[in-house]
Amino acid sequence: PGVERRHHGHNVGTRATTWALGAYRGHRGHNAGTTATTRAPRPQRRHQGHTVGTMATTRAPGPQRGHRGQNIGTTATTRAPGLQRGHRGHTAGTGGTEGMPWAPGPQRGHRGHAVGTGATTRAPGACYRHRGHNAGTGATTWAPGACRGHRGHAVGTGATTQAPGAYHRHRGHAIGTGAT
């Protein structure tokens, strides 16, 4: 009759189903289940393997709404109303090549920004249109500042930089073999 009513393998069950009356109602393998489904009436509602599930879906009414395997999922999709809205595998996805954040802030349009080779960033600030800037070999950056036109600046061998300063047209500047 309480919150723990009809919990079915809540912690690690992949197909577990919970019909609890409280915040845990409808949890289906919430912690580690890949096909988990949560129908809780609070921010944890309809979490589907949120923590480690690649195909998880979250429809929570708060900032976590629409998170789909946000933490490590490669095909994760986030529809949160805040800065995390539209993040797709943003945190640790295999290079985040398929990730697309539509956040309204500086993270808007980031596509695998950290380690993605084909990442695209449409942020309105200095990171505008960064494409795999950190470790991408064929990355392209159209930032409006000193990093404008950086292409794989950090470790890319065939990178090209059209920065307006001392880094103008650097190609593989850091460790590239054919740097110029």
- Reported confidence tier of residue 146, pLDDT bands at 50, 70, 90: very low
- Reported confidence tier of residue 149, pLDDT bands at 50, 70, 90: very low
Cα atoms in the 13 Å half-sphere on the side-chain side of 1:
0
- pLDDT recorded at residue 121: 37
- Reported confidence tier of residue 167, pLDDT bands at 50, 70, 90: very low
- pLDDT recorded at residue 55: 32
pLDDT tens profile 122-142: 333 433 444 433 333 333 334
- Average pLDDT of the segment spanning 145-166: 39
- pLDDT recorded at residue 72: 33
- pLDDT recorded at residue 70: 36
- Average pLDDT of the segment spanning 133-153: 39
Percent of the chain whose pLDDT exceeds 90: 0
pLDDT, the chain, mean: 37
- pLDDT recorded at residue 111: 40
User: In three state form, how does the secondary structure of the chain look?
Assistant: CCCCCCCCCCCCCCCCCCECCCCCECCCCCCCCCCCCCCCCCCCCCCCCCCCCCCCCCCCCCCCCCCCCCCCCCCCCCCCCCCCCCCCCCCCCCCCCCCCCCCCCCCCCCCCCCCCCCCCCECCCCCECECCCCCCCCCCEECCCCCECCCCCCCCCCCCCECCCCCECCCCCCCCCCCC
**pTM for this one?**
0.12
- Reported confidence tier of residue 61, pLDDT bands at 50, 70, 90: very low
- Average pLDDT of the segment spanning 147-151: 43
pLDDT tens profile 73-120: 333 333 333 333 444 333 333 233 233 333 333 334 444 333 333 333
